[in-house]
Structure 1
Amino acid sequence: MTPSIVDLTNCEREPIHILGSIQSYGYLVAIQPETYTIVHASDNIDKLLGIPASQLLGQSIEQALANSELPVGSLVEFLNVGRRSGSWDTLNPYQLILDQQNWNLIIHEHNGLILLEWEPVGDQNTAANQQLISQALTELQSSRTIKELLQNTARRIKTIIGYDRVMVYRFEADWHGHVVAEEKADHLEAYLGLHYPASDIPRQARELYKINLVRQIADATSTPSRILSETDWPADQPLDLTHSVLRAVSPVHIEYLGNMGVQASMSISLLYRGELWGLISCHNYHPRFVDFSARQAAKFVSQLLSAALEFRKDEEDQTNLLKYRQYGQYIHEQLLIDENIVQALTKRAHTILDLTEATGAALLFSNKIYRLGKTPDEAEIMGLADWLKASNTENFLETNHLPALYPPAESFKAEGAGLLAVVLSKELNEYVFWFKPERIQEVTWAGNPEKPVTVGEDGQQRLSPRKSFDAWTQLVHNTSNPWTEAEVSTVVKLREDILQVVTKQANEIRLLNQRLQLAYEELDAFSYTVSHDLRTPLSSIRCYSEILQEEYGKDMSADAQALFQKIIDSTERMRSLIRHILYYSRMGRTDLDTQEIDMKELLEGIREEIMVTMKDRALTFEIGSTPPILADPTMALQLFTNLISNSAKYTRPNPDAIIRISGKQSDGEVIYTLEDNGIGFDMKQAGRMFDLFKRLENARPYEGSGVGLAIVKRIINRHGGKIWFHSEPNRGTTFSVAFPTVTTT
């Protein structure tokens, strides 16, 4: 007998945006934008309009509602205004009176349909809500701590919506939740401090929370109303309720709320840099409807909190980044002055231990280990180095749960449960390690986080919502405090500083030269293959395609012509990629023609060329001080063109795109900094930045070959310079390049 398999992902895969029904307190129709023909309607619509849903389907709004109490003319005009403006947010809600009751009509457009949702107007007190918002703003400005800020927000939200319990729920790195603030009725048990497993709020639900900032379940015990569709509507295209305010509730979540004894709930999203930081989670133990006005007031308070969290976190991050960078500058100066790298890093006034909040650090260099602070012993460090050498780690590694990646680390978790490592040379077994100790946490869960398994009627085992929410305490071992973006950014810069000095001191004797010689020979053969064996057939493909298109184009279908054009476009992209590869492979063997370069002229030329290609968008260049550099003119042009073109490309989503470029003369080098406000990236992906043909995940939607930054890195290495960077997702990127003021060979 084949053993049954537990479906551990049934919550993750549940299509909660197309459940096919709405909550019973409201009513819905969906219409086509051009004709206003009704193609979907909730089964309960007759209670509002006095017309069965079956009679509405297939008719235009004007035809279907001509004999109803609804002011059809005003409604159609409202729809026309919304469509002309291209936005419904500023128009919602449309208020009307039906059967002596006030209703809010909330409209949105999604997936080619306009959705109209009616819900009752509650006992709203607009003036009181405005006063509460004003008080919330005052408290946000005066709160001295994050804890006080969160607690005050929970109190304000509870006052606005009148729920029994309001919690501020923060997501941790693994997406489990932690209640960090709570306001509740006196008779209720406190949930403050409890943790909830990530499976309680599955991935697709978290994604919807980023789109719908306010989500209400007015009565978890009510029967939802089905959505009926026009007779010939495709069965495989159910109505998408992603943006709906009435969207019904997943049966799994209904069961979950029932297990908690909750009959009404509301969730308000808290975002940080566009990502989900947490939720304001509200519970009521009896059905409770919160109308549109009160929900908007609660949403505004949550947005104030999100803005305050972002401001305070950014302020803290910037302070730490400046502190670490200052120590990094001290160590860089020590490296330039001191010929002994080990002494510069471990035995001077400032050491590598100053660059992070680590409690221990180790340098592996020239077959010796140098330890600072509290670290594992030498044998354990050597074992860690051997593991890294055999791993896929190329430039750096960061983790606050090292034993999970490297089980032997459990023996030294008191010194190194967290590891931040930079690779200087795998071949020579040279690394810098920073260690953070184990931080044993006593985590109190709201019930055992392991979900129970049930067997359905089909015999399949499935996860079901937990039934117990009694406090359940667990000790979490083998983890440390996490590494911050500022810490990672600082050590990435240190790696460049060290490698610059190492390359200068040991250029003739290090193993790297032997490997480079072999690589150059292989690149010679590769260049010959590319230039002769690839370019010729590629040209033939393009030529024959153009001939066929010209000779038979008139007789071809539109689809065939499009396919031929795709072939031609693809050959052009491949020709461009081959040119990049040839340039990359030849660059290492080309003699440098070092000259003093007028950087103002070079940068202005690049700016003018890019502005011509980007004339369809707003893009601002700010060019500051432009001290000259000593470099090969062709290579310098290629380097800055690649960097500036990348900034122009990745700022495209920003309507106010800015690229700032400035240079400064420092001791022994000229440093140019290029800053943009584009899409940025996670510094934890920094190790792949200069890899050939490697592109970061968020860059994939943008055209590119993955060669440009590899070329930039190779050019800067040829000049004996260095390049480093700092970035944050959706916060822009800063690249810095340093050219020595003395010619290198």
Structure 2
Amino acid sequence: MSDSIPSSLPTPDTDDCAREPIHIPGSVQPHGVLFVLATERLEILQVSASAADLIGRDPAALAGTAFLEIVPPDARGPVERLVREAATTYVNPFRVPVAVGDEVRFFDGIVHILESGETVVELENDPAFPHQGHESTEGLDNYLQIVHRSLAQLSGVCNARDIAAVMAREVKTFTGFDRVMIYRFAADYHGVVIAEAVEPEMEPYMDLHYPASDIPPQARALYLKNPVRLLQDVHATPVPLVPALHPATGAPLDMSRAVLRSMSPIHVQYLKNMGVASSLSISLVVDGKLWGLIACHHRTPRFVSYAIRATACLYAIVMSAQLKAKQASLENLRMSSARRMALDLITGLKDYADPVGSLGETLPALRDLFKADGAAVLSLQGIRSEGSAPEDLELLSLRQQLEKHRDQGIVITHEASTLFPSLAEGLPRAAGLVAIHLGEHAWLVVFRDEAVKRVKWAGDPTNAKFRDESGVLSPRSSFAAWQETVRGQAMPWPDSTTVLTTEVRAGILELVRKRNILLERSNQDLRRFAGIIAHEVKNQLQSGMMALSLLEYKSESTAPEVAQLAGLASRSLGNLAKFTNDMLEFSETEMNSTIEDIDFAEMAREIVDQLHMSGRTEGAVIQIMSLPRIRGPKSQMHHLLSNLLRNALTHARSESKNLHIEIGARADETHGTVIYVRDDGRGIPSEKRDKIFEYFFSDRGGETKGTGIGLAFCAQVVQRLGHRMWVESEVQEGSTFYFSVSPADESPQQG
């Protein structure tokens, strides 16, 4: 009994077991005779040593002779035809009479062709009845009966365990084995008994788990090549081939498809340790992959004819198709329901101006959709969670870790702490997660709580194989139930989760794309309209300003009151002209939004040089710190930084000291890469900080008033890129404007 958290189960000996060349054992089970024939002449190249006992022939003397010489003369023609046809037709098995002294013994003949071109003929019979052959019709009769019975029992059944229970009962009935188990492989290839038909006095193995090393990779590969494997007697001594190696190639015989192939000594000892004297294994293959096995065990040696084995194989093929069809039907029902829920959820987002930002309203529905315990939306605009989800600080850390997976678009795991170690501290919450990348730095995540499992193993899986005192690799000897408590995992997500997640992501991103197209068209129309109006107003203002200036000049000496009024009107029109210039600059800059790599340090130097040349930096020092390369629309980012610097030079100056401005960057835990513009000037009163990014709010402080467009435009540029802009300030201590950016791949450069 163990209560430890499981780690990977392979032992140091597992690799040795996986390297065992089980397809070239060089020996066969002694209840049959194997011949390797030159296909054209049917001349014997190799034969198993069992020929001496079973057909009374010296195996060494048979080499180089014709195979048909062991067949009575009157049967040679039919046998030759069957041998030549069996490998490419469904003749197997066929009756082969063999002259043994003065009598004739009948064997089941099974033929296949090697990739190298030789013909392999195997003769086998029940050791208890050596003089009898088996009629092939017994397999066909059994097949029709059991398939009919099984399909009738499966009406309305979709659960894999219920289907497996039918298989176990039927296979036990027609094979006569003491125990028949349906053994299903997990994703990591460890297996679990999901159904069992067993004699009442025998210990049940239902729901026991077996480590993947019990059936190593090369054994699983052979189960696909040769789906039926009989071990007639675990205590029988295998017999070698004569000669041991192919006489022409000097290579061992590939017995991947041989029915008499002897078994791995490790596997034979494994069965002995279980108290099994004979076994039959039948592959269950779904979609070309090994889904599981029908494993049959008997307490005494047991021979099963090839016809019955072929029946079992055909039955397994039909039932594998049933497994696939029933599970597909169930999965289709689940997916149909999930798709309806997903469609309702995505359709509901159409009513929102910001689909990603509004996902917080749909988190309960998302939990239902994914059968999850919690959900969250993570973005630069903030975090919103629902149900059993990590705390906000943990979610901030998770968002940063998820950025490493943004190219995948989707992350699905029921062991979240292995990918995101920070989540381990929050267990039992967020043991499993599904994360969906929604563009830029936004993620939609659903969580499942830890599901503590108690797994019953057939013996201690950490001691699945060991070396004895002589260094020989051996299987475990104890199969007593060994319980392990598995922690840190959630219930696995269904196989359909990938499809469902992909569809949800595509639906949300399509909404975002369409919304952005409409928004961009609207913005373009507004910008064009603003540009047209501003241009027209600017043209009309020029003549009025000239007339007022002339009137002010002419009236200074003759009519001071008129001159004063003309000056006031001229200054008002000047402010209006400045406003129209800003509107024109805004509309023209917004038109160019191509995303590209930007050397922000170089851009900062260019802007500062322009400000120096215009004389606007008099009485101020601008320092450029280390700045990164970023991605964004170059003209807009240029206007953004220029506007922030001009804003500081205009509004932050103090009469008592020179102004110091610093342009730099930092890594922020919440927002990623952040660029800042800091000044040590007047600062911004707290009551005005919340309004400073609103359009047409221009009362920052100081004598010079702005138009109220610049900072609002800067904030909009940043927000449209999926980032955030904010300000921190203290009166008389200065202000710092921050905005997050998307860094390019290159490292920061010194300004």
TM-score normalised by length of structure 2: 0.62
Q: Deviations over 1:59-89 (max 9, x none)?
A: 4435xx2686793322222233346xxx23x
Residue equivalent to 2:24: 18
Q: Is the counterpart of residue 44 in structure 1 residue 50 in structure 2?
A: yes
- Report the alpha carbon displacement of residue 503 of structure 1 after superposing the two structures with TM: 4.4
**Unaligned ranges ≥5, structure 2:** 1-10, 127-132, 524-591, 599-751
Is 1:106 matched with 2:110?
yes
CA 1:447–1:69 in 2, change beyond 3 Å: closer, same or farther?
farther
Deviation at 1:515, TM superposition (A): 8.9
User: SS state of the match for residue 154, structure 1?
Assistant: helix
Distance 1:489 1:245, change over 3 A: same
Pairwise CA distance, 1:106: 0.7
- Between 36-45 and 174-183, report the one with greater CA deviation: 36-45
The match for 2:449 is: 437
Identify the residue that residue 79 of structure 1 maps to in structure 2.
83
Distance in 2 (CA, whole Å) between partners of 1:347 and 1:148 is 41
SS at match of 2:463: coil
Matched, 1:199 2:213: yes
Matched AA of 2:123:
W
Residue 254 (structure 1) aligns with: 268
User: How far did 1:341 drift?
Assistant: 1.6
Question: Structure 2: how far apart are the matches of 1:394 and 1:349?
Answer: 23
Q: Does the aligned pair in 1 maintain the 2:465–2:476 contact within 8 Å?
A: no
- 1:236–1:379 Cα change, 3 Å: farther
Q: Deviations over 1:518-576 (max 9, x none)?
A: 39xxxxxxxxxxxxxxxxxxxxxxxxxxxxxxxxxxxxxxxxxxxxxxxxxxxxxxxxx
Cα distance in 1 for partners of 2:121, 2:228 equals 18
SS at match of 1:220: coil
**1:226 pairs with 2:236:** no
- CA pair 198-349 structure 1, distance change in 2 beyond 3 A: closer
Q: Does 1:384 align with 2:421?
A: no
Q: Deviations over 1:645-687 (max 9, x none)?
A: xxxxxxxxxxxxxxxxxxxxxxxxxxxxxxxxxxxxxxxxxxx
| In structure 2, C-alpha distance between the alignment counterparts of 1:231 and 1:195, rounded to whole Å | 39
Q: Give the Cα–Cα distance (whole angstroms) in 2 for the partners of residues 476 and 222 of structure 1.
A: 41
Alignment-derived partner of residue 741 in structure 2? none
Shift of 1:454: 4.5
User: After superposition, where does 1:206-221 map in structure 2 within 5 Å?
Assistant: 206-221=220-235
Is the CA contact (8 Å cut-off) linking 1:21 and 1:248 kept in structure 2?
Answer: yes
Does structure 2 conserve the Cα–Cα contact (< 8 Å) formed by 1:38 and 1:56?
yes
Deviations 1:668-720 (A, max 9, x none): xxxxxxxxxxxxxxxxxxxxxxxxxxxxxxxxxxxxxxxxxxxxxxxxxxxxx
Could you tell me whether the CA contact under 8 Å between 1:58 and 1:230 is conserved in 2?
A: no
What secondary structure does 1:464 align onto? strand
Q: Secondary structure at the match of 1:416?
A: coil
CA contact (8 A) 1:30 1:114 kept: yes
CA shift, 1:234, in A, is 5.3
* Counterparts of 2:203 and 2:389, CA distance in 1: 44
| CA gap 1:285/1:130 in 2 versus in 1, 3 angstroms | same
Q: How does 1:364-403 map to 2 (within 5 A)?
A: 364-390=378-404, 394-403=408-417
Q: How does 1:164-203 map to 2 (within 5 A)?
A: 164-203=178-217
Q: Deviations over 1:580-599 (max 9, x none)?
A: xxxxxxxxxxxxxxxxxxxx
Give the distance between the partners of 1:285 and 1:385, measured in 2 at CA.
Answer: 58
Instruction: Name the structure 1 match of 2:93.
Output: 93
Q: Which of the residues 423, 446, 453 maps onto 2:458? A: 446
Deviation by residue 1:26-68 (Cα, 9 ceiling, x = unmatched): 1111123333332221112233443322223234435xx2686
- Secondary structure at the residue paired with 1:158? helix
What SS class does the counterpart of residue 182 from structure 2 fall into? strand
1:469 aligns with 2:475: no
Larger radius of gyration: 2
Q: Choose the corresponding residue for 1:486, options 475, 480, 496.
A: 496
Judged with a 3 Å threshold, the aligned counterparts in structure 2 of structure 1 residues 70 and 47 are, in CA distance, closer, same or farther, namely: farther
Q: Which amino acid aligns with 2:33?
A: Y
TM-score, normalising length: structure 1: 0.63
Q: Partners of 1:517 and 1:245 in 2: how far apart? A: 65
8 Å CA contact 1:344, 1:351 repeated in 2:
no
In structure 2, do the counterparts of structure 1 residues 169 and 335 end up closer, same or farther at CA, with 3 Å as the change threshold?
same
Distance in 2, matches of 1:348 and 1:272, equals 38
CA distance in 1, matches of 2:189, 2:244: 40
Once the two structures are superposed, residues 480-509 of structure 1 have per-residue CA deviations (whole angstroms, 9 ceiling, x without a partner) of 122223222122122223333444555889
Measure the CA separation in 2 of the matches of 1:200 and 1:453: 8
Shift of 1:354: 4.0
Structure-2 residue corresponding to 1:163: 177
Match of 1:417 in 2: 431
- Which residue pairs with 1:689 in the alignment? none
What are the within-5 Å matches in structure 2 for residues 227-626 of structure 1?
A: 227-229=241-243, 233=247, 237-342=251-356, 344-347=358-361, 351-390=365-404, 394-425=408-439, 428-451=440-463, 454-455=466-467, 464-503=474-513, 516-518=595-597
Picking from 122, 136, 141, the partner of 2:150 is: 136
- Residues in 1 aligned to 2:25 and 2:50: alpha-carbon distance in whole angstroms: 16
CA displacement at 1:325 relative to structure 2: 1.9
Alpha carbons 2:36, 2:46 under 8 Å: kept: yes
Conserved in 2, the CA contact under 8 Å of 1:359 and 1:437? yes
Which whole-Å deviations, capped at 9, do the CAs of 1:300-347 have from their partners, x for residues lacking one?
Answer: 332332122111100111112222222222233234332122454232
Residues of 2 paired with 1:269 and 1:81: CA distance?
26
Q: Who is 1:33 aligned against?
A: 39
AA in 2 matched with 1:106:
I
Structure 2: how far apart are the matches of 1:10 and 1:183?
33
Task: List per-residue Cα deviations over 1:155-194 (Å, max 9, x = no partner).
Answer: 2111211111111111122211111111111211111121
Give distance in 2, aligned partners of 1:128 and 1:67: 30
Match of 1:610 in 2: none
